[in-house]
Amino acid sequence: MAKLDGKVALITGAAAGLGEGIATAYAKYGAKLCMVDLSKDVEKTAQKLRQEYGAEIITVIANVADKEQMKAAAAQTIEAFGALNVACCNAGVCRLAPFEEMPDEIRDFHIDVNIKGVWNTCQSVIPYMLKNGGGNIVIASSVTGDIVADAGEAAYAMTKAALVGLTKCLAVEYADRNIRVNCSQLGYARTPMVEKMAVESNPADPERAIMDIAKGVPMKRLAKPIEVGELFAFLGSDESSYLTGSQIVIDGGSTLPETMSIGTN
Ligand SMILES: NC(=O)c1ccc[n+]([C@@H]2O[C@H](COP(=O)([O-])OP(=O)(O)OC[C@H]3O[C@@H](n4cnc5c(N)ncnc54)[C@H](O)[C@@H]3O)[C@@H](O)[C@H]2O)c1
């Protein structure tokens, strides 16, 4: 029996990038999926996973920033599968700009998608989880904001750090009702988001920006989306049954080095 057999998972931002990696791991381990995304490409991604893993999947085009749309997505999941056991709050956005030039609209865009989007998703799924006797929420925070940051990431870092607070509060609030809430703190994975950040950082040579990220990671590479998917699958499964309110760093060691000059290799 696979670790997510019989579980129904709603995954946001599932069309591409990490969301696709998460959906792939969940399909591989036997979950039924509701894949939510703004982009209609989510159906193409779902079709690939149905073919590859025989997974039962519905797709919903929705904006996580819109609570009514998220409530409808949760309701559609229940209608299709009769339960909603896991929510992977993955959808997120990142736009770089010098702090003093960052328009309020860009700040608010991060707040709407990265914070309110997770808030809306949690409020939409928790009532069904409570009815069901429990559930599991995995939130995509980041090492950015809570642990490290690069210039230009003020809005992004602020919102990702906020998700650690949300994770901890929901974990304690629902612990005695059998809903666990954990968050991932990823370093860098190669996804459309990071490819766009590389273009913004080095328009003349974005590949150099990606290579330079890898250089700073002790493991000398970025994460693959499926490696993040494996963490989400563990956190969404009963294998992690005593974990709640945890922030799990998954970064190839990128937050470890104390200096770039001291040491023996
Ligand atoms: N890639 C990284 O290195 C990295 C590192 C740390 C944390 N994260 C976090 O992981 C999550 C996924 O990142 P990614 O790199 O895969 O991003 P991405 O931009 O490559 O993919 C994001 C997906 O979410 C969808 N999406 C965006 N806004 C949405 C909205 N309002 N409603 C519904 N769907 C929406 C997009 O259409 C896309 O399919 C984000 O929350 C991001 O902050 C990523």
Pairwise CA distance, residues 168 & 170, whole Å: 6
Q: How would you label 8-47 residue by residue, b for 16+ Cβ within 10 Å and e otherwise? A: bbbbbbbbbbbbbbbbbbbbbbbbbbbbbbbeeebbebbe
**How remote is the CA of residue 109 from the centroid of ligand 1, in Å?**
13
Summarize pLDDT for 240-255 with one digit per residue, the tens. 999 999 999 999 999 9
Summarize pLDDT for 110-168 with one digit per residue, the tens. 999 999 999 999 999 999 999 999 999 999 999 999 999 999 999 999 999 999 999 99
Using only the alpha carbons of the chain, give its radius of gyration. 18
Domains and CATH numbers, the chain: 8-186+224-250 (3.40.50.720), 188-222 (no CATH)
- What is the three-class DSSP state of 88? strand
Reported as a pLDDT band with limits 50, 70 and 90, residue 263 is confident
Residue of 26, 29, 53, 156 marked active site? 156
For residue 261, the model assigns a pLDDT of: 85
Quote the tokens at residue 51. 């073919």
Task: Identify any residues that bridge with 37 across adjacent strands, giving them in sequence order.
Answer: 61
CB neighbours of 151 closer than 8 A, spacing ≥ 6? Answer: 98
| Contact status, residue 134 vs residue 175, Cβ threshold 8 Å | no
Q: Count CB-CB contacts under 10 A for residue 208.
A: 11
Summarize pLDDT for 87-109 with one digit per residue, the tens. 999 999 999 999 999 999 999 99
Task: Identify any residues that bridge with 247 across adjacent strands, giving them in sequence order.
Answer: 183
**In the predicted model, is pLDDT for residue 259 greater than 90?**
no
Closest Cα to atom 1 of ligand 1: 189
**How remote is the CA of residue 218 from the centroid of ligand 1, in Å?**
24
Element of type H or E holding 249: strand 247-250
For residue 260, the model assigns a pLDDT of: 81
Summarize pLDDT for 202-211 with one digit per residue, the tens. 999 999 999 9
The verdict on whether 156 is a catalytic residue reads: yes
For residue 104, the model assigns a pLDDT of: 98
